[in-house]
C-alpha cells in the first residue's frame, strides 16, 4: 500500500476538517494533491502533531480533526497517545502511516531501502499500543480498500479513532512545498474561523469493513 | 499542606481574568491547588499531560482554534519541553503562557530540586523568552495580564516564575 494512494482516497473528505500533518513525506504528498488552507504541516517537533490536533479538537468540539502522523513521530511521543485517550475527544481521527522507517529524516532511500528502521519493523504494534492506551477504536490496515473504509468509518463515528496504515517506505516524488511555513501558520487559524462542515455532507460508509473496529468498554468517567 | 490556597486562588483568578480557557498541566506540590481549581471549574478545560512537551502542542492547537491557554509546570517540566518550545512556539511564532514553579532557589530543602532551579533562568534567557517572577499576591494580576498581552502581540512564549514566597507558607 502506498501512502499517496491512501491520501488520495481521503483527500475529498478533508474539505473543512482541521488537518494536521507531520513533516517530510506526508506533508509533501498531501501538499502535492492540492494545498488547502485547513491543512497545517508541522515541519518540526516530531511527535507533537497529535498534541496540536488535541488542542484543536478540545477547542472546537464541532469540527472534525484529522491528524496524519507517522511511526517515527508517534514513537517520539508515545505518552501523547495516553493523553489523547484520556482526553478522549470524539472529533479526532489519528491516522498513522507506518512505513517502519525514519524515511524523511534520512532513514530511507530511493527504492524503498530502509537505512534506519523504527521499532515497528521488529514487531512494535502501534494500533495495539493505542488500544491499550485507551483509544475506543484502533486498528491496523494493509490494503487500500480497508484503509478507505476505515477512514470513512472514523470520520462518521463520533469517537476517538486511530488507524495505523502499513505503507511502503517510498520517497515522495518531490519534497518541494511552495508555501512558507509561516504563511501556512497564519492561514490555518483563519480557515478554522470558518464554520465546520455539516455532518450530512460527509460521505457515508459504502461497505462494512472486513475487520470491525475494536471497541473497549466505555470508561467510567472521561478522566481515568 | 503549606501550599498557599489563597495565593493559588489569586493566580487562578488572574489566569481566568486574561481569558484563558484551557490549561495543560503536570502536577508538582506547589501546583496542587491551581490544578484542582482548573479541574473544578466548568468553564476551564484541563488537559492532564504525560510529559510537558505535549502541552506546547496542545497550546498551539488551542491558539489555532481561537482559544487562549496556559501551561502549568515545574522547572524540570520546562526543561523537558524545550524542543517543543523551540520547534513549535518559537519557530512558528505562537503565543505560549508558561507558569513555572521556581523550585530549587533559596529555602529549598529538597536536594533533588536544586540543580534544575539553577538553570531555569539562564535557559529562558538563552531562548530570549521574556520572564518575570511572581512573588507578591498584589503583583500577580497585573504581571500576568501584561505577560499575556506580550505573548499575544509578540506571538512568543512568555514565562512567569511562581516563587516560594508566593506559593509556600512555611509551617510555624
Residues of A in contact with B35 (CB under 8 A): none
For A3-201, the fitting CATH number among 3.30.1360.120, 3.40.50.10860, 3.40.50.970, 1.10.10.10 is 3.40.50.970
Instruction: Name the least confident of A108-122, A163-177, B109-123.
Output: A108-122
- Tell whether B127 is covered by a domain: yes
What's the CATH number where B26 sits? 3.40.50.970
CA–CA distance, A80 with B1 (Å, rounded to integer) = 31
pLDDT at residue A199, rounded to an integer: 61
pTM of the model: 0.93
pLDDT, tens digit (0-9, with 9 covering 90-100), for A98-125: 999 988 887 777 777 778 899 999 999 9
Residue carrying C-alpha cell 516530531: A46
Could you tell me the residue range of the domain that residue B33 belongs to? 5-167
- Give A52 to chain B, closest Cα distance, Å: 4
Taking CB atoms and an 8 Å limit, are A185 and B94 in contact across chains? yes
Angle at B10 between CA B4 and CA B16, to 5 degrees: 135
pLDDT at residue B156, rounded to an integer: 98
| Band of pLDDT at residue B172, cut at 50, 70 and 90 | low
* Total tally of structural domains belonging to chain B: 1
What ipTM was predicted for this assembly? 0.96
Domain boundaries, chain A: 3-201
- Tell whether B159 is covered by a domain: yes
pLDDT, tens digit (0-9, with 9 covering 90-100), for B36-82: 999 999 999 999 999 999 999 999 999 999 999 999 999 999 999 99
Residues of B in contact with A188 (CB under 8 A): 64
Taking CB atoms and an 8 Å limit, are B50 and A223 in contact across chains? no
Taking CB atoms and an 8 Å limit, are B64 and A57 in contact across chains? no
CA–CA distance, B98 with A148 (Å, rounded to integer) = 41
Element at A109 (helix H, strand E) = strand A108-109
Amino acid at each position: 500500500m502506498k501512502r499517496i494512494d491512501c491520501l488520495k482516497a481521503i483527500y475529498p473528505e478533508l474539505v473543512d476538517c482541521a488537518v494536521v500533518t507531520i513533516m517530510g513525506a506526508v506533508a509533501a504528498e498531501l501538499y502535492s494533491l492540492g494545498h488547502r488552507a485547513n491543512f497545517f504541516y508541522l515541519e518540526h517537533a516530531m511527535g507533537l502533531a497529535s498534541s496540536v490536533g488535541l488542542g484543536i479538537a478540545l477547542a472546537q468540539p464541532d469540527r472534525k480533526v484529522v491528524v496524519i502522523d507517522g511511526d517515527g513521530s508517534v514513537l517520539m511521543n508515545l505518552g501523547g497517545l495516553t493523553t489523547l485517550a484520556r482526553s478522549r475527544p470524539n472529533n479526532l481521527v489519528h491516522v498513522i502511516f507506518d512505513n517502519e522507517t525514519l524515511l524523511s529524516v534520512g532513514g530511507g532511500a530511493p527504492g524503498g531501502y530502509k537505512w534506519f528502521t523504527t521499532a515497528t519493523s521488529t514487531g512494535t504494534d502501534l494500533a495495539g499500543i493505542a488500544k491499550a492506551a485507551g483509544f475506543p477504536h484502533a486498528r491496523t490496515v494493509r490494503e487500500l480498500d480497508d484503509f478507505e473504509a476505515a477512514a470513512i468509518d472514523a470520520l462518521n463515528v463520533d469517537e476517538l479513532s486511530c488507524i495505523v496504515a502499513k505503507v511502503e517506505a517510498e520517497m515522495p516524488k518531490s519534497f518541494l512545498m511552495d508555501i512558507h511555513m509561516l504563511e501556512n501558520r497564519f492561514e490555518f487559524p483563519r480557515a478554522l474561523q470558518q464554520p465546520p462542515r455539516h455532518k450530512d455532507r460527509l460521505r457515508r460508509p459504502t461497505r462494512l469493513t472486513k475487520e470491525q473496529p475494536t471497541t473497549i468498554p466505555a470508561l467510567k468517567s472521561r478522566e481515568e | 499542606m503549606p501550599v498557599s490556597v489563597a495565593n493559588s486562588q489569586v493566580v487562578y483568578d488572574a489566569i481566568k481574568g486574561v481569558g484563558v480557557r484551557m490549561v495543560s498541566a503536570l502536577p508538582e506540590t506547589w501546583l496542587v491547588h491551581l490544578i484542582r481549581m482548573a479541574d473544578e471549574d466548568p468553564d476551564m478545560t484541563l488537559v492532564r499531560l504525560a510529559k510537558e512537551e505535549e502541552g506546547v502542542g496542545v497550546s498551539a492547537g488551542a491558539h489555532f482554534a481561537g482559544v487562549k491557554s496556559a501551561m502549568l509546570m515545574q522547572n524540570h517540566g520546562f526543561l523537558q519541553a524545550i524542543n517543543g518550545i523551540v520547534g513549535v512556539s518559537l519557530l512558528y511564532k505562537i503565543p505560549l503562557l508558561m507558569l513555572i514553579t521556581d523550585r530549587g532557589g533559596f529555602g529549598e530543602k529538597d536536594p533533588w530540586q536544586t540543580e534544575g532551579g539553577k538553570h531555569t533562568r539562564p535557559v529562558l534567557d538563552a531562548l530570549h523568552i521574556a520572564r518575570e517572577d511572581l512573588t507578591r499576591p498584589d503583583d500577580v494580576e497585573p504581571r500576568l495580564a501584561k505577560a499575556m498581552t506580550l505573548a499575544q502581540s509578540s506571538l512568543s512564549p512568555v514565562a512567569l516564575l511562581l516563587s516560594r514566597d508566593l506559593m509556600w507558607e512555611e509551617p510555624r
